[in-house]
Amino acid sequence: MTDMKIGAYVCQGCGLGERLDTKALTMVAQKEGKAHVVREHEFLCNSQGVAMIQKDIDEGVNRVVIGACSRRAKAEAFTFENVAVARVNLREQVIWSQPPTDEARELTQEMAADYIRMGCAEAKKIVAPTPNAAHGTNKRILVVGGGVTGMTAALESARAGYEVLLVEKAPALGGYMASLYKRVPSREPFADPQPTDIEALVAAVSKDPKITVHLNSRTTRTSGAPGQFSVDITAESGPTRTENVGAIVMATGFTPYDASRLPEFGYGKSPNILDQAGLEALARSAAAKGEPMRRPSDGKEVQSVAFIQCAGQRDASGTHLKYCSGHCCNTSMKQAMYFKAQNPNIDTAIIYTDLRTPGNGEDFYRSAQTKGVIFTKGKVQSVAVNGDGSASVHFHDLILDDKAAVMKDVDLVVLATGQVPNSGVNIDIPPDATDVPVTEAGKVQSVSVLNLTYRQGPDVPQLKYGFTDSHFICFPYETRRTGIYTAGPVRRPMDITQAVEDATGAALKAIQAVENAGLGRAAHPRSGDLSFPTFRREGCTQCKRCTVECPFGAIDEDEQRYPQFNEGRCRRCGTCMGACPVRVISFENYSVDSVGSQIKAVDVPDEFSEKPRILLLACENDAYPALDMAGVSGHTSSAFVRTIPVRCLGSVNMIWITDALNSGYDGVMLMGCKHGDDYQCHFVKGSELASYRMSKIDDTLQNLNLEKDRVRVLEVAISDIARVPQFINEYAEKIQEIGMSPFKGF
């Protein structure tokens, strides 16, 4: 290891030169920050400025402190190969956050000097990360599920040149789609049901040399990390083989909601009351025999059919599925067209409350009407089964406001039930829990899909109602298991067209995961980050907090019950670092020490100075950009605040807070993303964990004999540009009110 040589550079551009004594700042860097080289530059981000820094690096500088604009600006200019860079935000969060007055000059300069001290302190504690040597290089993709989603994912991956393993539990490929008579059209003119063409898809998958298919098989054990998963594939009454893969696409589809839960609609009371799957089977068998569709009860040719939409769906009462499955309106129209194609005189009526045919589905809706399918806006109350096998549908006609409307003696009733995802075990529900709602699908499914050996449970965490969707609107593929992507109706209720698109997207993410794993780089949202957590084994007390709290299930336990970091699964949020009570977990460029040193580097004036110091730990994803933009927008805030960006509030270690309070800070603020149901935290649980941990801070404050208000946790959004400085100022006033900390000068 070569000697540490710090170069500190202070920019004079963008008004920094006028507002600050940059010479004095370089002196601070030199004397207090122990920088070996210090320089001012009138325009540091231009090519000469950058060249100047690069020249110093070439001559031995290996840590760089840039006192200029925010790390969010000019990132391209201030990135240097293999050199750790500490950005000191003198522009957005010092001169732009302070009034440009003579009176404010002294405090502004003090602020800048502190930030320079902090930058130098950070630079000493970080190194440019190098990729983990233990990264995996397997580029094979495992697809679990051989329906249209799985087959599409397999085929699209193979077309990009990747080997694929496809595991299907049934004896044949095809999945639910293979049970359909026809599908909803995917192309203009969106007028008629079209063949599923599933045979062609099965054939393409079967003959693709890059795809190996395992039928009658399940994934009975999955361990490892992106680039190096190890998977046991067990054939039914057959051998188990272990395969290595780089990433996984989980496309296990859905199961139709159990219609026997809908006795009020007559299901089970007559064979002439079917769900949509039952109608597909009827249509297929009739077509196979070349016969018209007949009533199951007595073989009478069907003359009339009623379709009941939202059967056991959109149910706010909680008895049935609360959500809408999205495809069912189109599916019922398609099925009504089966009958119209058989005989245009067959009465087909669809009873709906909101007809949901978005996009080009509107063409299909019009086509159904053209064919004479009748649409009735109404709420079905009950279905009565008559002695002759027919049924009468009682409903509230919402247009004619007739609460006693009846569709009498129809031959068939089709219930449009919803999709229940085949997502395996809900790892968030304890195995012994009672009273689990059916819609959560947790209790319903006790068989694991992936059988992950992960410490946190055998399947992918579920978001809601059993779906393994991402909670992020901008990032639909972010499951909480790195390198495992879910696609199709297991992720979210969807139709075939969307499932095909979804499968293709998930395949890209899987390919991306193996490519990045091969380079030892992190996946979203810290894409490309080469740092990864390491821990000091000697210091570990095996408390397991890191393994339990990691939002991504990246940490297992080894045989000796020490944490086992799977770097490939890690998203580099630092939640483990924040959790560790003995502070043994760190990243090369982000550690308890690298932040702790910054906290200690701040010059804390004595209690008679009337200059309090407030530490602000701000999430770099939302709060920190909001602070930057507050500066750009000309909002001023207290000059007594010293801000340190953190990767996530989840990475905040309690020691930072106690250290800050012990060393005389008057208050500590934490700004992170929203948590709860509509959480905003990019690391899913970071802000929630932080808020939980901070709820226990009162004890610490009590032990230190400090007021409760010495620590404040705030939820902010990136758009809180005007509010963030307001929060700061309010807190600064509060601190003035409760007075200076008694811990100064110790």
Residues between 407 and 446 with contacts to other proteins, criterion CB under 8 A: 407-409
Label the pairing between strands 534-535 and 585-586.
antiparallel
The secondary structure of 458-517, three-state, reads CCCCCCECCECCCCCCCCCCCCCCCCEEECHHHCCCCCHHHHHHHHHHHHHHHHHHHHHH
258 part of the interface to other proteins, by CB under 8 A: no
**Of the two residues 114 and 628, which places its CB atom closer to other proteins in the complex?**
628
Helix axes 361-370, 328-342, angle to 10 degrees: 30
**Of the two residues 391 and 599, which places its CB atom closer to other proteins in the complex?**
391
Q: What is the DSSP string of 315-339?
A: -TTSSS--S--SSHHHHHHHHHHHH
Residue 229, beta-bridge partner list = 245
Binding string, residues 47-76; x marks residues near other proteins by CB under 8 A: ----------------------x--xxxxx
Only segment of 196-204, 228-236, 589-597, 628-636 that touches other proteins (CB under 8 A): 628-636
629 part of the interface to other proteins, by CB under 8 A: yes
140 part of the interface to other proteins, by CB under 8 A: no
Residue 601 CB, nearest approach to other proteins (Å): 26
15 part of the interface to other proteins, by CB under 8 A: yes
Residue 697 CB, nearest approach to other proteins (Å): 27
Residue 162 CB, nearest approach to other proteins (Å): 9
Dihedral angle at the C-alpha atoms of 360, 364, 370, 373, nearest 10 degrees?
-140
Out of 169, 221, 480, 509, name the contact with other proteins by CB under 8 A: 509
Contacts of 639 (CB under 8 A, 6+ apart): 98, 104, 107, 108, 110, 111
Residue 137 CB, nearest approach to other proteins (Å): 14
How far apart (Å, rounded) are the C-alpha atoms in residues 487 and 467?
Answer: 10
Out of 464, 600, 611, 734, name the contact with other proteins by CB under 8 A: 464
Dihedral angle at the C-alpha atoms of 512, 514, 519, 522, nearest 10 degrees?
60
Site for other proteins in 285-324 (CB under 8 A): 304, 314, 316, 322-324
- Other Cβ atoms less than 10 A from the Cβ of 635: the count is 19
512 part of the interface to other proteins, by CB under 8 A: yes
- Other Cβ atoms less than 10 A from the Cβ of 354: the count is 10
26 part of the interface to other proteins, by CB under 8 A: no
357 part of the interface to other proteins, by CB under 8 A: yes
Tokens of 249: 């696409």
- Other Cβ atoms less than 10 A from the Cβ of 372: the count is 15
Out of 3, 58, 103, 187, name the contact with other proteins by CB under 8 A: 187
Tokens of 461: 């965490």
**Is the separation of the CB atoms in 143 and 251 below 8 Å?**
yes
Site for other proteins in 664-723 (CB under 8 A): 674, 678, 680, 682, 717-719, 721-722
Residue 8 CB, nearest approach to other proteins (Å): 20
381 part of the interface to other proteins, by CB under 8 A: no
What one-letter code names the amino acid at 172? A
Only segment of 204-212, 230-238, 366-374, 580-588 that touches other proteins (CB under 8 A): 366-374
- Other Cβ atoms less than 10 A from the Cβ of 405: the count is 20
**Of the two residues 9 and 467, which places its CB atom closer to other proteins in the complex?**
467
Residues that bind other proteins (rule: CB under 8 A) add up to a total of 106
Residue 201 CB, nearest approach to other proteins (Å): 15
Residue 73 CB, nearest approach to other proteins (Å): 6
Out of 270, 423, 498, 586, name the contact with other proteins by CB under 8 A: 498
How far CA 439 is from CA of 319, 322, 326, 415, 495, in Å, comes to: 8, 7, 16, 18, 19
Sole residue written with tokens 């404010």: 104
Residue 376, beta-bridge partner list = 351
Only segment of 23-31, 261-269, 595-603, 619-627 that touches other proteins (CB under 8 A): 619-627
Residue 643 CB, nearest approach to other proteins (Å): 17
Residue 403, beta-bridge partner list = none
How far CA 228 is from CA of 133, 140, 321, in Å, comes to: 13, 9, 38
What is the CA 686 to chain-centroid distance, rounded? 12
Site for other proteins in 144-183 (CB under 8 A): 156, 159-161
Only segment of 113-121, 291-299, 509-517, 589-597 that touches other proteins (CB under 8 A): 509-517
**Of the two residues 344 and 539, which places its CB atom closer to other proteins in the complex?**
344
What one-letter code names the amino acid at 266? G
621 part of the interface to other proteins, by CB under 8 A: yes
Residue 148 CB, nearest approach to other proteins (Å): 14
549 part of the interface to other proteins, by CB under 8 A: no
Residue 656 CB, nearest approach to other proteins (Å): 24
Out of 625, 672, 686, 725, name the contact with other proteins by CB under 8 A: 625
**Of the two residues 187 and 696, which places its CB atom closer to other proteins in the complex?**
187
Residue 87, beta-bridge partner list = 66
Dihedral angle at the C-alpha atoms of 208, 214, 216, 221, nearest 10 degrees?
-150
Phi and psi (nearest 5°) for 186? -110, 0
CA 281-285-291 angle, 5° bins: 135
* Closest C-alpha to 490, from 526, 473, 466, 517: 466
Residue 43 CB, nearest approach to other proteins (Å): 6
Out of 326, 488, 551, 686, name the contact with other proteins by CB under 8 A: 326
How far apart (Å, rounded) are the C-alpha atoms in residues 731 and 597?
Answer: 24
Only segment of 200-208, 215-223, 508-516, 601-609 that touches other proteins (CB under 8 A): 508-516
572 part of the interface to other proteins, by CB under 8 A: no
- Three-state DSSP class for residue 598: helix
Phi and psi (nearest 5°) for 624? -65, -45
**Of the two residues 583 and 635, which places its CB atom closer to other proteins in the complex?**
635
Tokens of 206: 């079967």
Out of 398, 429, 701, 704, name the contact with other proteins by CB under 8 A: 398
Out of 192, 232, 301, 397, name the contact with other proteins by CB under 8 A: 397
Out of 208, 440, 459, 469, name the contact with other proteins by CB under 8 A: 469
477 part of the interface to other proteins, by CB under 8 A: yes
Phi and psi (nearest 5°) for 278? -65, -40
**Is the separation of the CB atoms in 640 and 587 below 8 Å?**
no
**Of the two residues 128 and 235, which places its CB atom closer to other proteins in the complex?**
128
Site for other proteins in 523-542 (CB under 8 A): 524-525, 527-528
Site for other proteins in 75-114 (CB under 8 A): 75-76, 79
Residue 456 CB, nearest approach to other proteins (Å): 24
**Of the two residues 45 and 427, which places its CB atom closer to other proteins in the complex?**
45
Sole residue written with tokens 């504690």: 125
CA 490, 495, 498, 501 torsion-angle sign: positive
Helix axes 148-159, 496-519, angle to 10 degrees: 50
How far apart (Å, rounded) are the C-alpha atoms in residues 244 and 169?
Answer: 19
Site for other proteins in 238-257 (CB under 8 A): none
Out of 105, 210, 261, 377, name the contact with other proteins by CB under 8 A: 377
Out of 263, 359, 539, 739, name the contact with other proteins by CB under 8 A: 359
Out of 339, 467, 590, 743, name the contact with other proteins by CB under 8 A: 467
Residue 56 CB, nearest approach to other proteins (Å): 22
Site for other proteins in 27-46 (CB under 8 A): 43, 45-46
